[in-house]
A and B are shown apart, each in its own frame.
Chain A
Amino acid sequence: MAHRMRRRDFLRNSMMVGASALAGNCGGSSRWQAGAFRKAGSSRVAILKAASYEDDLTQLVLDGIKVCGLSVAGKTVLLKPNLVEYERDTVINTHPAVVGAALEAFLRLGAKQVRVGEGPGHRRDTDGLLVASGFLPYLRDTRSPFIDLNLDDIRKVPLLSRFMGIDSLYFPESVLSADLLVSMPKIKTHHWAGMTLSMKNFFGIVPGVKYGWPKNFLHWHGIHESIVDINSTVHPHFVIADGIVGMEGNGPIQGKPRACGVVILGEDPVAVDSTCVRVAGLNPEKIDYLRIAGEFLGNLQENRIKQIGEAISQVRCPFEVIGGFEHLKT
């Protein structure tokens, strides 16, 4: 056991050294195309309370879309939940009730088409995942197509930032052709990235048919680096984060449920993710990919985020973190 801890510490320390080097090198625009990114002066993020998955979540999503000023009518919408594994009594996936509510809400607002797409990172039996995790009835009831993003037609796209050390990645056509990409993460801790939220959720748009299962190609090029490069190139237009029950501890799969009773929405993924981290009682500036994204993709700092709905202090819900991530609490 003692040996295992030393090994783990060694790996973590090695990663921290790599991450520090990365952060130290990203101050200039050499890692991204100067002028290609325009951060808004401020970003709106809505924190809306929901006590349980039995609440009227469709109304909640409608309210969130309205207060964030998102235009939906006539658009093709792709909802991207976080669908990883199914194990009974766990909170690994975005709850199907939240995805069902978003389906209903976008249809009511006059979207031309609403589809659900996901490319699970570990499993190829997506049909079973849809059945077991409870998504299937929502898809059938709303006659909404499901796209397995691992198996979609793919297109090579030049990356707009260069943290991974590669020039391009393949992405699914269904993602590239959607007018409105909605990232729908579950608010969870992550034993490599710190926390997994709307930006990390976009690992699921990287096609398994090209990069395999698990998507180790991304880990190989650095988790933080991959998150930034993916989101600089194909970013969510809207985020609906499921924090009604999140996951703390050894996430994203083996952690414990943490009831927070919130759904967090907004157009700026960096601002929404930072808010989720603050609600979890952690410091977003200590999460490498968020700190880097805050430099050019969106607003990280609290004074640049216009909070709507609940104040963070009213819904703060401190998450447990595993050893090696205590620094996120400061």
Chain B
Amino acid sequence: MASRRTEVGNLKSQILQDFLAKTQNPDGGWGYSPGKRSALEPTAYALMGLRHAAGAEQILAMATQFISSNQSIDGGWPVSVTDPGAASWATPLVGVALLSGAGESAQAQAALQSVFSAFNRMPKSWVNRIGGWLGYRSSNVNTDLGGWSWNPGTAIWVEPTCYAILFLKKATLDRQDQSVSRIISEAESMVYDRMCKSGGWNYGNAEVLGEELRPYPLTTTLALIALQDRSLRSENQKSLAYLKQAVSSEKSLLSLCFAGLCLDVYVQGWQNVWNQLDEFYRKISFLEDIKTTALMLITLDAREGNNPFRLKAERR
């Protein structure tokens, strides 16, 4: 046990010093890979991963400054500095990162407004409208339920909706907000509506042209994390069972990390995930994927009771 702790300590130190410290851009953010311009998603994960890292104070300060200076007037963040301007799907992720730290509540509050106002319903083309009027249902999903889209004004999908649900839940944990609760509830219904028949989720289509589509472990973990306070619902249990089975043949470090974080949130054993992390990391580290590497750090940290995706008090 002690040697495993040392191994993990060494790995965390290696990720921090040899990778994240070296790949941080001068503006304080991280791109998706070294040399790329700063983007909000990898920076949010790096921020979450570095919260408890010893010796990361300077890196964290720069990252926090980057987050501050890129928040737009509407409270949101763009996807990257190469696409400045309006709030994007990355906003709730940055919000979660801020809430997992301390002292950035004003920024998170502004982000809450931005995420709240981005809630929308599926836009319908004239073909769909006429079809609906004629009594045809052009989709196997309930298109009247709202959620969040990747791109403003386009269709809503599971992943951006789950980021938004998680952030809104975290941001309103200690207070009642009827209007926020109402859209969370509708968005949860949307996510359940998109669940695959066998449990679990893919990007948001359980069926295409009458053919059943299979779930993906990654989107399943994101949905389960967003719906963690509904853990006793049969859909959650079915999807959790799917996830546990899927993890055994998982090939992606990104998915494996999220699986670990999700199982931790549901207070399930995740020793098998834990045991594979180093090997997966070694296998794909040459891809130099900053987001996944930061998630690796978050996952290692979660083993010590610091899981930023948990709604309730983090340290157990």
Contact = CB atoms under 8 A, between A and B. Distances in A.
Interface in A107-126: 122-126
A260 to B, nearest CB: 24
Most central of A126, A148, A212, A220 by chain B CB within 10 Å: A212
A7 interface: yes
Contact of A155 (B82, B149, B283): B82
A127 B36 contact: no
Interface in B217-253: 217-218, 250-253
Nearest to A148: B32
Contacts of B283: 131, 136
Contacts, number: 122
Interface string A170-211: 100000000000000000000100000000000000001111
Contact of B131 (A10, A122, A213): A10
B284 interface: yes
Contact of A213 (B138, B157, B208, B217): B157
Interface string B175-219: 000000000000000000000000000110100111100101110
B203 A213 contact: yes
B32 A151 contact: yes
B286 A140 contact: yes
A212 B149 contact: yes
B136 A7 contact: yes
Query: Considering residues B218, B251, B255, which has the most beta carbons from chain A within 10 angstroms of its beta carbon?
Result: B251
B139 to A, nearest CB: 9
A142 interface: no
Contacts of B291: 151
B151 A127 contact: no
Contacts of B261: none
Given A128-B255, A213-B157, A213-B159, A10 B136 contact: yes
A14 interface: yes
Residue with the greatest number of chain A CB neighbours at <10 A, chosen from B31, B82, B127: B82
A269 to B, nearest CB: 27
A154 B160 CA distance: 20
A315 interface: no
A171 B143 CA distance: 30
A124 B250 CA distance: 14
Interface in B265-281: none
B209 A250 contact: yes
A11 interface: yes
A254 interface: yes
A93 B127 CA distance: 32
Contacts of B31: 153
B83 A210 contact: yes
B155 interface: yes
A154 B83 contact: yes
A38 interface: no
Interface residues of A, number: 46
**Chain B CB within 10 Å — which of A130, A151, A152 has the most?**
A151
B82 A154 contact: yes
B154 A212 contact: yes
B136 A128 contact: no
A216 interface: yes
Interface in A48-83: none
B252 A18 contact: no
A8 interface: yes
A127 B218 contact: no
Contacts of A129: 251-252
Contact of A211 (B39, B151, B159, B216): B151
Contacts of B33: 148, 151
Interface string B58-101: 00000000000000000000011011000001000000000000
Contacts of A132: 251
Contacts of B52: none
Contacts of A136: 283-284
B289 A127 contact: yes
B281 to A, nearest CB: 10
B287 interface: yes
A138 interface: no
A158 interface: no
Nearest to A132: B251
A124 B33 CA distance: 15
Contact of A11 (B138, B149, B155, B284): B138
Contacts of B211: 250, 254
Interface in B142-181: 149-151, 154-155, 157, 159-160
Contacts of A146: 287
Contact of A131 (B136, B149, B210, B284): B284
Nearest to A212: B150
A216 B155 contact: yes
A32 interface: no
A128 B160 CA distance: 21
A220 B155 contact: yes
Contact of A214 (B37, B203, B254): B203
A8 B211 CA distance: 12
Contacts of B137: 7
Given A11-B138, A131-B252, A131-B283, A4 B151 contact: no
Q: List the 5 shortest-distance A-B pairs measured between CB atoms, nearest first.
A: A128-B252, A212-B150, A125-B252, A151-B32, A128-B251
11 contacts: A4-B210, A8-B210, A18-B127, A125-B218, A129-B251, A136-B284, A151-B33, A151-B39, A154-B83, A209-B41, A209-B80
Interface of B: 31-33, 36-37, 39, 41, 79-80, 82-83, 89, 125, 127, 131, 136-138, 149-151, 154-155, 157, 159-160, 202-203, 205, 208-211, 214, 216-218, 250-255, 283-284, 286-287, 289, 291-292
Given A212-B154, A220-B154, 9 more contacts: A87-B214, A125-B252, A125-B254, A127-B254, A127-B292, A128-B255, A209-B39, A213-B159, A220-B125
